[in-house]
Chains A and B, each alone.
Chain A
Amino acid sequence: MERCPEIADKLMPLDEAVRRFIFNGCQLAIGGFTVNRNPMAAAYEIIRQGIEDIHLVCHSNGQALDILIGAGCVKRLEIAYSGNGRFAPTCVRFKKAIEEGELEFEDYSNYQMALRFLAGALGIPFIPTKSGLGSDLIKYGGFSPEIREDEKVANLKYAVVGNPFSSEKDEILLLPALTPDVTILHAQYVGEDGTVQINGLTFADLEQAKAADTVIITCEEIVPRSFIRLDPDKNSLPSFFTDAIVKVPYGAHPTACFKFYDYDPAYLKLYRKMAEDDNLFKEYLDEWVYGMSSHEAYLSKVGTEMLLKIKANPALGYAQGLERK
């Protein structure tokens, strides 16, 4: 491991970061979006450590959400969207779990979830929006009164109030803030000074990180202080927001990491096929998660050929001409 005195207390292996900061029943937010920058290595490690009863708070998470649900780590879910684009228009284990009544869940929209993280980051108890008025998102709550007594669950899903600044009738929706126990993000770079740099779209990652009590960053590279400070306009989070920093190259595989690698179409197709069947899914978990001693072992199983195929063209950010059918 690199020697970085400024972040020596935060730099740790993945298993240690999960052991120290993720706990049974924790409220967890994960960064990324559908097939991009999901903290997959961290999700695999959470499964290997047998963490249970997670309360997952998501906007549009894809692969990491689906595998955490499929492995039985998630008890409660607040979600806007669960899909993997063309690879799984609705994430398969998510779909099964909801249809079989195995999850406590509530639906929100993407903007609503992003705003709820923003409210958490700003330290305000709720945030207004017009989005959702008239929809069944307001009509159907998913959590029972007992669940609502939990300190991490708001006592109402929404409130509709009149705009206090208008003399005319003008209704508006209030959304409760979210303050997750832990947020895990996968970033391209962390500097030796702890500064985090995310390239490409940031989704709601920064709001999720600033709303959380604890932040774990997995990253592709740890880079010198001089490099991360070359162009501070590109940087995403200062060091003081982070609690654990873990270097995990290809840590978002099989989802994409802009400028480093594309999503892995073959793997996502294989996953979908195995996730459709309960027995095959068990085999999948044994083979690809429990059977792997480390992310390096997992990557050797994925194989050099595929890792080269999905390697991003650094100028474009994705793998040009990748076979995606």
Chain B
Amino acid sequence: MISYSDNEMMAIAAGRLINDGDVVFAGTGVAMLAATAAKRIYAPRAVVFFETGGIDPSLDEIPMAVGDSRVMSGTSLNSGLIEAFSTVGHRKLHTIAFLGAAQVDRYGNLNTTSIGNYYKPGKRFSGSGGACDASALASGIIIFMQHEKRRFVEKLDYLTSVGWYKGGNSRQELGLKRGGAIAVVTNLGVLRFHKETKEMYLREFFPRASVDMVVENTGFPIDVSGAKKTLPPLPEELKVLREEVDPQRLICQSDMNAPPG
């Protein structure tokens, strides 16, 4: 049996959700790995771009941050933040944003700001960055999480980025005409959202995880009735990931997702 890290399984599971031709907005860490892997393996006509303004970089080396010079190299175009967000929200494009967070709730809303009292928090994180913007403007977001009870919560300490808001049609009623949370990819599996209620449910659990592990590590009741075991990473997927996407093993090697904080 081939061994692989959690980050590799997560990047591959998320990459499988990308369709050819999608325009993919990548954040940092495993999100960047997934975006790059998606293009190299599943969706060669997908375009990866960054909130800092780099469109379709060659990504010969994996960037460590969205401000890394590697997102400016071999691009079709270098621009700035305003141009990048005009791409994220463009009505002509199907844009998918990869985001990480410290907390997620059952409707795919995210917290990347702080834990505890906002004004004097127990733990402060980096803040929204482009996450609030991408979740407001993109056609959909895919969220990366470490699957822990304290991260899958009934109520966020701070709602930085809107997913399905309060479920049902509430996102649309806010004035956000498109978008919403497509999936949450964790170290245990892939969670999706019910079509009508917009509540999170377990769609797939990873080969090394189980339905029980997901239930135990989720801080709200979760529907697991239709969950199936994920296909493990294929040798050719791992080969591309390790040899082409992250040859320096900067992200692949780690078993820890890199959430803010």
Residues of A within 8 A of B (CB): 32-36, 59-60, 62, 79-87, 89-91, 94-95, 98-99, 101, 107-112, 114-115, 118, 130-137, 139-140, 142, 169-172, 200-207, 256, 258, 262-263, 312, 316-318, 320-321, 324-325
Contacts of B118-175 to chain A: CB distance below 8 A: 118-133, 136-137, 156, 158-162, 165, 171, 174-175
- Residue of B53, B82, B129 touching A83 (CB-CB under 8 A): B129
Answer whether A85 and B68 are a contact pair too, CB < 8 Å, given A90-B126, A111-B81, A114-B82.
yes
Task: Report B110 CB to chain A, min CB distance, Å.
Answer: 9
Closest 3 CB pairs of A and B: A85-B65, A81-B129, A33-B67
- Asked if A85 and B67 make an inter-chain contact with CB atoms under 8 angstroms apart, the answer reads yes
- Residue of A98, A169, A317, A325 touching B121 (CB-CB under 8 A): A98
Answer whether A135 and B160 are a contact pair too, CB < 8 Å, given A171-B175, A325-B250.
yes
Other CB < 8 Å A-B pairs besides A36-B65, A110-B133, A137-B160, 7 of them? A33-B66, A98-B121, A111-B82, A114-B80, A131-B132, A201-B54, A318-B70
Docked complex Cα distance between A202 and B82 (Å):
10
Q: Which residues of B contact A131 (CB under 8 A)?
A: 85, 132-133, 136-137
- Residue of A81, A98, A133, A256 touching B68 (CB-CB under 8 A): A256
A contact face: mostly helix, strand, loop, or mixed? loop
- Asked if A82 and B78 make an inter-chain contact with CB atoms under 8 angstroms apart, the answer reads no
- Asked if B64 and A320 make an inter-chain contact with CB atoms under 8 angstroms apart, the answer reads no
Q: CB-nearest residue of chain B relative to A89?
A: B260
Answer whether A36 and B69 are a contact pair too, CB < 8 Å, given A107-B113, A324-B64.
yes
Q: CB-nearest residue of chain A relative to B50?
A: A201
Task: Report B198 CB to chain A, min CB distance, Å.
Answer: 13
Answer whether A325 and B248 are a contact pair too, CB < 8 Å, given A80-B128, A85-B67, A201-B52.
yes
Q: Which residues of A contact B66 (CB under 8 A)?
A: 33-34, 85
Docked complex Cα distance between A136 and B161 (Å):
8
Task: Report B141 CB to chain A, min CB distance, Å.
Answer: 13
Q: Is B28 an interface residue (CB 8 A)?
A: yes
Q: Which residues of B contact A206 (CB under 8 A)?
A: 80
Docked complex Cα distance between A107 and B162 (Å):
15
Q: Which residues of A contact B81 (CB under 8 A)?
A: 59, 110-111, 114, 203-204
- Asked if A101 and B248 make an inter-chain contact with CB atoms under 8 angstroms apart, the answer reads no
A sample of 8 inter-chain contacts (CB < 8 A) reads: A81-B129, A84-B65, A98-B121, A130-B136, A133-B176, A137-B160, A142-B118, A321-B61
- Asked if B176 and A130 make an inter-chain contact with CB atoms under 8 angstroms apart, the answer reads yes
Answer whether A203 and B68 are a contact pair too, CB < 8 Å, given A132-B136, A134-B159.
no
- Asked if A136 and B129 make an inter-chain contact with CB atoms under 8 angstroms apart, the answer reads no
Answer whether A318 and B65 are a contact pair too, CB < 8 Å, given A59-B81, A204-B80.
no
Q: Which residues of B contact A118 (CB under 8 A)?
A: 82
- Asked if A133 and B73 make an inter-chain contact with CB atoms under 8 angstroms apart, the answer reads no
- Asked if A79 and B127 make an inter-chain contact with CB atoms under 8 angstroms apart, the answer reads yes
Docked complex Cα distance between A101 and B64 (Å):
30
Docked complex Cα distance between A133 and B176 (Å):
8
Contacts of B71-102 to chain A: CB distance below 8 A: 71-74, 78-82, 85, 89
Docked complex Cα distance between A101 and B118 (Å):
10
- Asked if B127 and A324 make an inter-chain contact with CB atoms under 8 angstroms apart, the answer reads no
Task: Report A8 CB to chain B, min CB distance, Å.
Answer: 31
Docked complex Cα distance between A107 and B111 (Å):
13
Q: Which residues of B contact A33 (CB under 8 A)?
A: 52, 66-67
Q: Is B204 an interface residue (CB 8 A)?
A: no
Answer whether A205 and B132 are a contact pair too, CB < 8 Å, given A81-B127, A133-B176, A318-B70.
no
Q: CB-nearest residue of chain B relative to A59?
A: B81
Q: Which residues of B contact A139 (CB under 8 A)?
A: 159
